[in-house]
Amino acid sequence: MSNPYVSQPDFAFWRRSVADVPVEDVDPITSIPFRIDRADRISTAGSCFAQHISNTLVNEGFCYFVTEQTPATSGAADENFGTFPARFGNIYSARQLLQLFQRAYGLFEPLDEAWQRADGKYVDPFRPQIQSQGFDTIEDVNRDRQAHFIAVRAMFERCDVFIFTLGLTEAWAAGDDGAIFPLAPGVVAPGRPDASYTFHNFTVGEMTSDIEACFSLIREVNPSVRFVLTVSPVPLIATFEPRHVLVSTIYSKSALRVVAEEISLSLPNVAYFPSYEIITGSYARSQYYAEDLREVTPQGVNKVMSLFKKHYLGAGTQLDTTIRRPMPSLRSQKPDPVTAERTAIDNIQALQAIICDEEALDPS
């Protein structure tokens, strides 16, 4: 038998594609299942790192599909609209995404309606930091949530491409109904006085099952949707496991990477984009992390997004600078569409700070 590796391409060899290649030229993407066209409505969800993708889509003139642009109720403040397609904040886990769909379509009604902060204001337990002022009443929370669900359903039903960035395996759940929250009760506000909450670290099997179930539900309302999975390269800011946060980080990212691999190989029209490998690869010699060894530097973001543009948004294509208009406001009284568009775009492009619920666990 002759050496079976002789006919392998250069990218199959470490020396030829990593060690002997300048850092800026390392490109681990060898094939993609589909490209994203300018007419495609693109939605994103996930951890903090997912927001860099939305920034790139907007800046490059692609159709970032914003379905919730401005406050739809009197109790809502004009905050965090346009950061994600709907104002759901960070979605860190697969179960959290699955439950977002289930809650939006009335398939799951958690017992946790609203949590009251120390200042007397109320927050939505499933998006506790979407507005800094909170809500005045539980009724305000519920009204805003119902308007939010209209936007969530529009996103799932009308997007052409859905990009989900897997962020964490660790989560907190309500003991009685299994509802998953982006932050543990007590971080921003206590939970229900009569409820018990438990810590849970999801396994590969659980997360794979959740993503399969979620994507299946999305395809029931949107059969032609295509998916892109990524894994956030940002380490855990804190762990609740009785072990070092470094060990928990390696488990979490390794498990998420396996889930992304299994889903992208087993389901049609699901791509995996290796943002995690691009940032964390040893070839980069840690230059893509800031001094805190957690925040990704602008250089790292640029590296990831340049490869995303090259492979998924079209190589060698003259980029259109036209900003694609998001879906009109879902309020009964529609604002001027130009103003609404500018507001949504400004919210995305400004990005005074990447929204990261997890940072509330250890504020600097």
Domain boundaries, the chain: 41-361
pLDDT in tens, the chain (364 residues): 899 999 999 999 999 999 999 999 999 999 999 999 988 999 999 987 778 888 888 888 889 999 999 999 988 999 989 889 999 999 999 999 999 999 999 999 999 999 999 999 999 999 999 999 999 999 999 999 999 999 999 999 999 999 999 999 999 999 999 999 999 999 999 999 989 999 999 999 999 999 999 999 999 999 999 999 999 999 999 999 999 999 999 999 999 999 999 999 999 999 999 999 999 999 999 999 999 999 999 999 999 999 999 999 864 343 333 333 343 333 333 334 444 444 444 443 443 345 677 777 777 7
The whole-number pLDDT of residue 101 equals 98
CA torsion, points 126, 127, 133, 134, in degrees to nearest 10? -20
In sequence order, what are the beta bridge partners of 201? 170
Single-letter amino acid code for the residue at 194: D
For residue 354, the model assigns a pLDDT of: 56
Q: What is the pLDDT of residue 224?
A: 97
Alpha carbon distance 192, 287 (integer Å): 44
pLDDT for residue 160: 97
Is the CB of residue 359 less than 8 Å from the CB of residue 237? yes
Q: What is the pTM of this model?
A: 0.87
Q: What is the Cα–Cα distance from 114 to 356, expressed in whole angstroms?
A: 20
What integer pLDDT is reported at residue 317 of this predicted model? 40
Q: What pLDDT score does 256 carry?
A: 98
